[in-house]
Amino acid sequence: MRRTAITTLGISFLFLVPRIGAAGTVVVENIGLDEGNTTGLLEITSQHYVDAMRAIVSDRYKDDYLAISWEALETSMTNAQVARMEYRFAVNGETRIRVYHALGGAPLGAMAQSAFGGSTPAIAPGSPQSPDDLEWSDGSPSPALEATDYVAADAEDSRFYSGFNETNLRARMLPPDASVLEPFDVDGVDRAIDAEFKILRAIEHDLQTHAVPTGGSIRGAVGGATCGSCREAMQTLSDTYDIDIHLTQMFGSLPSTQRDALVAAGTAKLRGRRLVSSESGRPLLARDVLADARDQQVRQSLTPSSLQRSFKGIPWRPRSFRLAPPRQPQASGRPAEGGSTAPNADAMELPSPPC
């Protein structure tokens, strides 16, 4: 029997389905509250990709671009799911570890091309404002590579990455030749581009080339929920290569009973849809903490100001605004007693931030 375990809030539920072959197991665990170092490890993985995208933009896209292009890049980078997995194996009785990192979605070069590669990006009125809905001012769709081209494009991007080595590896997209892993579409998306699938395929490649031995174990995390295609790929990898897999996924909410208990105890409160600390106001859920950290990474490294650029058509010249509220008009044309005829004479002049 094939055993898949789903663990939620410390309680494991085992689902048994027929299987033939090795004895690997797959455990998918949900993490709600930000506990342990899972979020911090995924932040490190995310930073690798933010740094690589900064290098790509600096190298290939040196012009000024409209704000909507930068917004498209920011959305692509912050919404792409990040994953990290450790493969543990034994060599001559000694335990060794390889760490695989991945970002979901198209290769970074293709993301940048979608944001900056045309003339003037614009959003059609009434359409959803996401990078997939961008079209250029001449009416043509935003330039994008076909999925079959992603393998070559991802390999070409390799020179922009730093910090990876034989122990810490970037899981880039690989051709499906000789792979037993078969992704399928979920919600109309080919899940071969998922971060988890990229890592599973990279580990499989290393197993096939004998860079690492079979029979090890995988422990990893993904900054969101894993889909059915990736679950199936995990089980196939486990069955084929006798590997135990334990994956932690992040949900954006807690069961209502646990959430209500935290609120009733005064530990937490709801701010909009977010569960935050009553004392600090900071988010309590691991997924929210990671989202905020990744958003900060992008804003620090992938904005026009951080790259010493200007928005196209908007020069960044210091302008002044008045800090004091406007003075109420007098009933007569004469100044109030002891007052000044100059409006807002006591207002402070400060330079405004860039638009």
Select the more confidently predicted residue: 101 or 7: 101
Whether residue 41 contacts residue 99, with contact meaning beta carbons closer than 8 Å, is answered with no
Binning pLDDT at 50, 70 and 90, where does residue 189 land?
confident
> What is the rounded end-to-end Cα distance, in angstroms, of the chain?
60
- What average pLDDT does this structure show over 33-44? 94
Binning pLDDT at 50, 70 and 90, where does residue 146 land?
low
Q: For the chain, which residues make up each domain, given as ranges?
A: 2-326
- What average pLDDT does this structure show over 193-220? 96
**Identity of residue 190:** D
Rg, Å, the chain Cα set? 26
Cα(322)–Cα(325) distance, integer angstroms: 8
Question: Which pLDDT value is given to residue 313?
Answer: 67
Binning pLDDT at 50, 70 and 90, where does residue 118 land?
low
Is the pLDDT score of 136 beyond 90?
no
Is the pLDDT score of 124 beyond 60?
no
Binning pLDDT at 50, 70 and 90, where does residue 266 land?
very high
pLDDT, the chain, mean: 80
- Using the Cα atoms of residue 316, residue 59, residue 53 and residue 227 in order, give the sign of their dihedral: positive
pLDDT digits (tens, 9 = 90+) for 306-354: 998 888 766 544 433 344 444 444 444 444 444 444 434 333 333 444 4
Binning pLDDT at 50, 70 and 90, where does residue 261 land?
very high
What's the pTM value of the predicted model, to 2 decimals? 0.76
Binning pLDDT at 50, 70 and 90, where does residue 148 land?
low
Structure tokens at 217: 């174990």
Question: Which pLDDT value is given to residue 178?
Answer: 87
Question: Which pLDDT value is given to residue 312?
Answer: 78
For 146, phi then psi, to 5°, come to -70, 155
Q: Which of 25-34, 61-70, 308-317 has the lowest mean pLDDT?
A: 308-317
- What average pLDDT does this structure show over 61-78? 93
154-163 core/surface letters (b: 16 or more CB in 10 A; e: else): beebeebbee
